[in-house]
Amino acid sequence: MNTKISAIILTKDENPDDLKSCINQVQSHVDEVIIIDSSNNSSAEIISNNLNAIYFKKKIGDKHINGFNDLKNFGHITSKNDWILHIDVDEIFSDSLFENIDFIIKDTEANAYSFPRINLPFYELYPDYQTRLINKTSTEWIGEIHEEINVFKEPTKIEQLNEYPIIHKSKTQCLKNEINKRWKSLNKKRNILICSLFKDSTLYIDTFLKNIENLTKYSNTKNYKIDLNFIEGNSTDDTFMKLTKWLKNFTKDQDKTNHIINKINLPSNIHRFTSLAILRNMLIKYGLKHHDYVLMIDSDTLFDSTLLHQLIESIETNQCDVIAPMPFIQNFRTHNNDYFYDTLAFIDNNNINFGHLYPYSAELTKKNLIKMTSVGTCYLARAEIFNINDFSNYNITKCYKELANKEPLTYDSINTEHHNNDNMISEQISFFKKLKKHGYQVYVDTNIKILHVNLEELGLSWH
């Protein structure tokens, strides 16, 4: 980093470990760390000296110190650099901020920068903008209690940097390494890959694609970048032709939307679970690049334009790794009620058996979140989780080569005997069991709902 920056930390009776962590997170990224301590003990001074931070003992009531603004302005006077980064002990800054700070300062004419603050664990007041990076030659702090920055030189500009959020952790939150592991990439501009499978879909495909179109347009207003990945397999109708035509027309007006569409025919002797696993794996392998989230959504669902935004808000607010809506299904088989909760979500029974929620019990649905072992039909997942997917069980290497050579895609099963067992566990559940082993959290948010089309009513069967 070429820009010389002084970090200023105000402390008062802080937890020693928190103070050490705060100093360590910035020390390698700034030119100096200044501690202004109002504590009644000497622990902050000892820690500062051990970590080579510059230490001052100052508190409100001292000469010329009437409020927090005076403490911060004192830091400006004692710092040797023009650019100041103000940090609270219980805040965590994005690593990418320090990686890009030279570019940020040189690329704009702002005198100060504010960041959205995420107040864990319940996201109160988000985005809760906090001015943290400032040029002391053109600014000063005013206000004794709720201090704020005053820019007194032109241009009087404070720029919001939404892509570098501050995490404000409560005293009960996990340490920095765990937060960074799960939420390092959290920012306002999100890249999402939407994946869907298609088969014999022409009776309802127009509605589904219209919903995707509306969802994409709405998501663009939320600063989301949407890419599409469609795979059609073993259709007997003109589904593939309809998809191709729609994508061609849709992307004319959506020049920033990348899209992939592939057709693949699978051998009839492959178990239905295996065929779904192959197609899902191909969706991820073909489509996933630099995305923050993946929305897996079956093409026999109906939903409104806000679905993706609701799921993103839920997954980030609840700090989980997979979030699914509550799907309803229409006129299902012999059930008399018009709607009931869909079965395509699974719950672990004492770590032994997997069972359908068939339907969800009234007691469960009183909760906003239901912790799941597996979900299907539709779910939003952080892209990172697909790193643990096991592609080795399926002979999709040949398909990859055909794709690269722009050949028609086919699939040859290596071990169909293994996959023809009707009692085998669904690959979908198997994948989510791996997530559970790795400590990932999967939930259904009962406040978000979609409709799952009953294909039997249309004389069709998805599988």
Sign of the dihedral through C-alpha 301, 303, 309, 313:
negative
Q: In this structure, are residues 374 and 355 in contact, taking their beta carbons and an 8 Å threshold?
A: no
CA distance 257 to 207: 20
- What token pair was written down for 107? 């690329």
Output the pLDDT for position 77.
Answer: 94
Write out the CATH class of domain 190-458.
alpha beta
Output the pLDDT for position 184.
Answer: 46
Q: In this structure, are residues 303 and 380 in contact, taking their beta carbons and an 8 Å threshold?
A: no
Asked, colleague to colleague, whether 5-183 and 190-458 share their fold, the answer is yes
For the chain, residues with pLDDT lower than 50 are 122, 171-187, 331-362, 392-394, 397, 413-425, 456, 459-463
The domain limits of the chain are 5-183, 190-458
**Over the stretch 95-106, which tens digit does the pLDDT of each residue have?**
888 888 888 888
- What token pair was written down for 376? 């299907």
* Ramachandran sector of residue 251 (left: φ over 0; alpha: ψ -120 to 50; beta: rest): alpha
Output the pLDDT for position 291.
Answer: 87
Nearest residue to 297 via CA among 455, 454, 450, 456:
450
| Cβ-Cβ contacts under 8 Å for 383 (sequence gap 6 or more) | 193, 288, 291, 292, 293, 294
Output the pLDDT for position 127.
Answer: 75
For the chain, the helix, strand and coil percentages under 3-state DSSP, each to the nearest 5: 30, 30, 40
**Over the stretch 361-413, which tens digit does the pLDDT of each residue have?**
445 555 678 777 778 789 999 988 877 655 544 455 455 555 556 665 555 54
Is CATH 3.90.550.10 what the domain over 5-183 is classified as, yes or no? Answer: yes
Nearest residue to 423 via CA among 278, 270, 271, 266:
271
Output the pLDDT for position 99.
Answer: 85
Residue type, position 376, single letter: G
**Over the stretch 131-150, which tens digit does the pLDDT of each residue have?**
999 999 999 998 877 788 88
